[in-house]
């Protein structure tokens, strides 16, 4: 999952843009254990909620202020579908490469 927290030219926060891709199906506890194992092997920070069997591994943690990009793997209900907001790739590439100032963010 990727999320973009963007601002307009005058500094107002825009709605968050998202990109979600389902990569596996399984029982919550099994998926959480698999994500924890892979994250620990690759030295990636992971959060685990054993009560609900959810886990999140932050590949690109969010910054403290906007604009920012964050990327993570997360366990979620099976009803989650692949989806991507319009122009997500363009904004992602610009923000991650440091050229976001060149984008019309209005």
**Any idea where the domains of the chain sit in the sequence?**
2-80
Yes or no: say if 63 and 71 are a contact pair by the CB < 8 Å rule: no
The rounded distance, in Å, linking the Cα atoms of 60 and 82 is 20
pLDDT greater than 50 at residue 105 = no
- For 39, counting Cβ atoms within 10 Å of its Cβ (0-12 exposed, 13-18 middle, 19+ buried), the class is buried
pLDDT in tens, 21-70: 999 999 888 999 999 999 999 999 999 998 888 999 999 998 888 999 99
> Would you state the structure tokens that stand for residue 52, as one six-digit string?
């609900």
Average pLDDT across the chain, whole number: 88
Q: In the prediction, which pLDDT does 33 show?
A: 93
Q: Model pTM greater than 0.85? A: no
Tell which residue, 18, 10, 37, 24, has the closest CA to residue 88. 18
DSSP helix/strand/coil, 35 = helix
Strands of the chain, DSSP E: 2-5, 17-20, 46-49, 54-60, 68-74, 83-84
């Amino acid at each position: 999952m990727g999320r973009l927290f963007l601002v307009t030219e005058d500094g107002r926060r825009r709605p968050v843009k998202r990109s979600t891709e389902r990569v596996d199906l399984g029982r919550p506890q099994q998926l959480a254990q698999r994500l924890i194992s892979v994250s620990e092997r690759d030295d990636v920070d992971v959060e685990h909620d054993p009560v609900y069997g959810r886990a999140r591994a932050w590949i690109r943690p969010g910054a403290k202020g906007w604009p920012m990009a964050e990327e993570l793997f997360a366990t979620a209900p099976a009803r989650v579908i692949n989806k991507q907001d319009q122009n997500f790739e363009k904004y992602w590439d610009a923000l991650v490469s440091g050229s976001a100032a060149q984008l019309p963010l209005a």
